[in-house]
Amino acid sequence: MQRGIPLFLLTLLANCLAAATVRAQATMPREISGFARASNTNMPPEGTVVYLQSEMGEIIQQMSPEGSGSFTFPMLSPQIYYVAARAPGYREIRQRADLLSNRRISVHLYLPPDATAPAPQPSPAEAMINERLLRVPDEARKEFEKGNRELVEKKNPRKSIGYFEKAAKLFPAFAEAWHRLGTAHMDLGEWKEAQAALEEAIKQEERFPAAHLALGVAYIQQGNFADAEKPLLRGLEINPGAIEGHYELGRVYWALQRYADAEIHARKTVTLRPQFPAGHVLMGNVLLQKRDGQSALAEFKTYLKLEPSGSFAASTRDVVAKLEKLLSARD
């Protein structure tokens, strides 16, 4: 606790940035999706692992791809990433993904066989992995791929919607089509439509963390913070490494004035990924609520160092100036 700083002034400062944090609903999270397959078979090798790295080489998330080799890293912050894949009997492959200028990127990773360690023959278990995806009819898959090209490569969410709707109509259990339909509506700010599509994706495949996390964001965008809690918690239960999920849940708890819960997820965000800029704004707000002005100041300055032109930059600089003046007067 910082003695000598009037509580009402710290509250005003906290409210200033907290409002900006909650209002930042127009800054949509970014996403990297794609597939990892063997170059010689066009199928995902058994034991494939795909992982996401920061520009500095830090492993942020890793996962085993779905039966078709598909993967999604949702709710990412705008920065440079690298996506890599490895599997026994194959050489590792790595690709750069620029989310500074793109909201979504599709990455196709083809693992070349390692001549020094020949690739194992597909096992019966591998051939039957994720039967749900392998049951998707070719016609539905083609419509999905057309929609994905429009959404990810051509950045035309409106045109992609028809393709995803057709894919879902052809194969109603196609959870990925419902998920993509939801994200296309999110791009267009059509939150009710996004919510309905994402709920259908979860109905078809409950263990779909990207759909749960996206549904939480759709609720936040509509101001339904209480409803956002459940899908965010479930998404994090399935994929605990989704740092942005912790950040969004922290924002939810802040909006609901559950400050102790907000602190837990804000700390996870900045501890597990110190280079995630917005997490430091949320952490600073939490610390101001606790009347720890000095620590809050350090968090806000870290944010400005990481993202000097970010969406919170102007309001953060204003709060930093006022907070420095208060702390100086106290001394």
Tell the residue number behind the tokens 């999706």, with chain if given: 33
pTM of the complete model: 0.74
- Considering 51, 86, 116, which residue would you say is the last residue of a domain? 116
Pair 100, 157 in one domain = no
Q: What is the pLDDT of residues 228-284, one digit of tens each?
A: 999 999 999 988 878 888 999 999 999 999 999 999 999 999 998 888 888 999 999
Question: Which CATH number covers residue 296?
Answer: 1.25.40.10
Instruction: Please answer whether residues 35 and 93 qualify as being in contact, where contact means their C-beta atoms are separated by less than 8 angstroms.
Output: no
Pair 99, 143 in one domain = no
The Cα 182–Cα 193 span in angstroms is 7
Pair 246, 331 in one domain = yes
Q: Is the pLDDT of residue 322 over 70?
A: yes
The Cα 135–Cα 270 span in angstroms is 41
φ, ψ for residue 37, nearest 5 deg: -140, 160
Pair 18, 76 in one domain = no
CB atoms within 10 A of CB 16: 17
Question: 22 pLDDT band (50/70/90 cuts)?
Answer: low
The Cα 272–Cα 84 span in angstroms is 20
Pair 213, 260 in one domain = no
Pair 89, 45 in one domain = yes
Instruction: Please answer whether residues 157 and 151 qualify as being in contact, where contact means their C-beta atoms are separated by less than 8 angstroms.
Output: yes
Which pLDDT does position 155 carry in this prediction? Answer: 83
The Cα 197–Cα 307 span in angstroms is 33
Pair 11, 64 in one domain = no
- Considering 238, 267, 294, which residue would you say is the last residue of a domain? 238
In a domain, 124, yes or no: no
Residue range of the domain that includes 310: 1-27+241-331
Pair 261, 213 in one domain = no
In a domain, 129, yes or no: no
Question: Which CATH number covers residue 90?
Answer: 2.60.40.1120
Q: Is the pLDDT of residue 62 over 60?
A: yes
CB atoms within 10 A of CB 36: 26
Q: Is the pLDDT of residue 85 over 90?
A: yes
Which pLDDT does position 124 carry in this prediction? Answer: 43
Q: What is the pLDDT of residues 98-120, one digit of tens each?
A: 887 788 888 999 998 887 765 45
In a domain, 122, yes or no: no
Pair 245, 323 in one domain = yes
The Cα 110–Cα 114 span in angstroms is 12
How much of the chain, in percent, has pLDDT values that exceed 70?
A: 84
Q: Is the pLDDT of residue 145 over 50?
A: yes
Which pLDDT does position 13 carry in this prediction? Answer: 54
In a domain, 203, yes or no: yes
Count of domains observed in the chain: 3
Which pLDDT does position 102 carry in this prediction? Answer: 83
Pair 168, 216 in one domain = yes
Pair 149, 112 in one domain = no
Strands (E), the chain: 30-38, 49-54, 59-63, 70-76, 80-86, 93-98, 104-111
Which pLDDT does position 282 carry in this prediction? Answer: 92
With residue 294 as reference, give the H or E element that holds it: helix 293-306
- Considering 212, 238, 264, which residue would you say is the last residue of a domain? 238
Pair 249, 299 in one domain = yes
Q: Is the pLDDT of residue 7 over 70?
A: no
Within 13 Å of residue 108, how many CA atoms lie on the same side as its CB? 8
List C-alpha distances in Å: 39 to 83, 112, 113, 137, 224.
17, 5, 7, 23, 45
